[in-house]
Amino acid sequence: MIQFKRSADLRLWLDGKQDKGEKIGFVPTMGALHEGHIRVIETCRSHVDRTVCSIFVNPVQFNDPKDFENYPVSLEKDIEMLVNAGTDVLFLPSVPEIYPGGDKGLETYDLGDLETMLEGRYRPGHFQGVCQVMSRLLTIVKPDHLFMGQKDYQQCLVILRLIGILQMPVHFHTVPTVREADGLAQSSRNRRLNPDQRKNAVAISQTLRFIGEKLHPGELETIRKQALDKLDKAHFKTDYIEIAQASDLRPILTWNGRDKAIALIAAFQGAVRLIDNMMLN
Ligand code: AMP
User: Catalytic amino acids?
Assistant: 37
Q: Please give the pLDDT value at position 105.
A: 87
- Quick one: pLDDT at residue 103? 85
- Ligand 1: residue of 151, 160, 178 to mutate (most ligand atoms within 8 A of CB) is 151
Give the atom of ligand 1 at the shortest distance from the alpha carbon of 177: 20
- Atom from ligand 1 closest to the CA of residue 176: 21
Ligand 1 atom having least distance to the Cα of 31: 2
What is the model's pLDDT at position 133? Answer: 98
pLDDT of the residue at 56:
98
Does 40 contact ligand 1 (Cβ within 6 A)? yes
- To test the ligand 1 pocket, which listed residue (38, 55, 67, 152) has its Cβ within 8 A of the most ligand atoms? 152
Residue with the smallest CA separation from ligand 1 atom 10 is 148
**From the CB of 177, is ligand 1 less than 6 Å away?**
yes
pLDDT number for residue 248: 98
Identify the residue whose C-alpha is closest to ligand 1 atom 17.
Answer: 36
The pLDDT of residue 240:
98
Q: What pLDDT is recorded for position 161? A: 98
pLDDT < 50: residue spans in the chain: none
Tell me the C-alpha distance between 85 and 81, whole Å.
Answer: 6
Q: Is the CB of 188 within 6 Å of ligand 1? A: yes
Report how far ligand 1's centroid is from the alpha carbon of 190 (Å): 12
Tell me, what's the pLDDT at 259?
98
Is ligand 1 within 6 A of the CB of residue 276? Answer: no
pTM of the entire predicted model: 0.97
Ligand 1 pocket check for 58: Cβ under 6 Å:
no
Contact 255, 261 (CB under 8 A): yes
199 CA distance to ligand 1 middle (Å) = 21
